[in-house]
Amino acid sequence: MDLEYRSPSAEEFEAVYRAVYIAFGDEPKDDDVERARRTMPVDRVLAAWDGGRPVGVAASYPFELTLPGGVAGAAGVTWVGVHPSHRRRGILTELMRRQLEDVHERGEPIAILWASEAPIYARFGYGIASPETFMDAERAAFALRDDPGPRGSVRLVSADEAAKILPPLYEGVRRNRPGSLARSEAWWADHLLPDPEHWREGHGPKFYAVLEIEGAPVGYALYRIKEKWEEHTPRGELRVVEAFAATPEATAELWRFLFGIDLVGRVKAGRIDWALPLMVTDPRRLHLFFAEGLWLRLVDLDAALRARTYGLSEPVVLEVEDDLFPRNAGRWTVGPEPGRTDADPDVALHVGDLASAYLGAFAFERLAAAGRVRELHPGGLARATALFTTPIPPYCPEGF
């Protein structure tokens, strides 16, 4: 095939965006196209063109990713798809390779994504960096452990009010949560707060709830309800879009509110915070299940290692393998002053497996037990874990 790889012009943007939906067997609404124009820089869209027609796409949002002790620019990879007529011809591989080179040239040391098909991205050096937890809970079984009784109050606000109250609450939480992303005003306006009918998937309208304690907002939740009745008994489903709170007390109160809404039989949520199962008397009745979650690619290993802080331990030398980017391969010392080294390595691993430890999701011993890491000197795994560990696990609530 004589294919061309390039970004679209402004006039070609809609055709490329519609090409993404064709790859997923769908089509966008007109307001989806306009929303995409406002939030996706056209120069971050890469398309494969066959005879002037887009047949494959990969794009990325410019994000700021919270790291342990720091932040870094991160390319939020999305819109990845190839038309059914052009699959199995190497188009996706070429798009991913070109995109990662472009990310490097932009000075973004990290790329992140949510995988539509998990087997694809390990081939390109991505690793599981922030596993996600889903919940399909029995509302009637919810009870908080050592419950001191309710505090504060919740009020429902309009989308316009939410646009003023929610962003600073979220920003205060995400700065201390590795894996979370900064949100621009445009991101709130076009991705979080809108409520078009075709986003509801059979549920009712989006509600915006703000929790206040002693008159100050300390948490919020976005949710929808699907009304359902069986034999004259309410069996509705409450779906939590997202829930954030500034303190453990506020987290408990926010979930108390959500599980206390009437006419609901089940409460469902994706990407819930790690703390909730530890707060309830019967975590089994939350019916939790897990998925691989956020994938991460270390594009510029030197910059990525310098962007975060590390725990108290002696430095460790990593022997990193990276077939796609030889510039990342070799020996790296990690500690107070990370960088290249000629010292003997303590641990050997692939760059994708280093990505799994980078935000603190997996201890090096766990990776070694899965055959993903090799210890070359005694004590190397323990030192590496002590350096990369975080007080709380990484958490990314942001789908993109």
Residues marked active site are found at 121, 400
* Residue 109, phi then psi, degrees to nearest 5: -75, -10
343, 333 contact by CB (below 8 A): yes
User: DSSP of 216-243, one letter per residue?
Assistant: EEEEEEEEEEE--EETTEE-EEEEEEEE
* Residue 16, phi then psi, degrees to nearest 5: -70, -40
Centroid of chain to Cα 231: 40
Strand residues in the chain grouped as ranges (E): 4-6, 45-50, 53-67, 70-82, 110-114, 127-138, 153-157, 207-213, 216-226, 229-230, 233-234, 236-245, 264-269, 288-298, 316-321, 330-334, 339-340, 347-350, 373-375
- For 175-203, letters b (16+ CB in 10 Å) and e give eebbbbbbbbeebbebbbbeeeeeeeeeb
* Residue 150, phi then psi, degrees to nearest 5: -70, 150
The one-letter amino acid at 137: A
Distance in angstroms (rounded) separating the CA atoms of residues 108 and 175: 19
* Residue 110, phi then psi, degrees to nearest 5: -135, 145
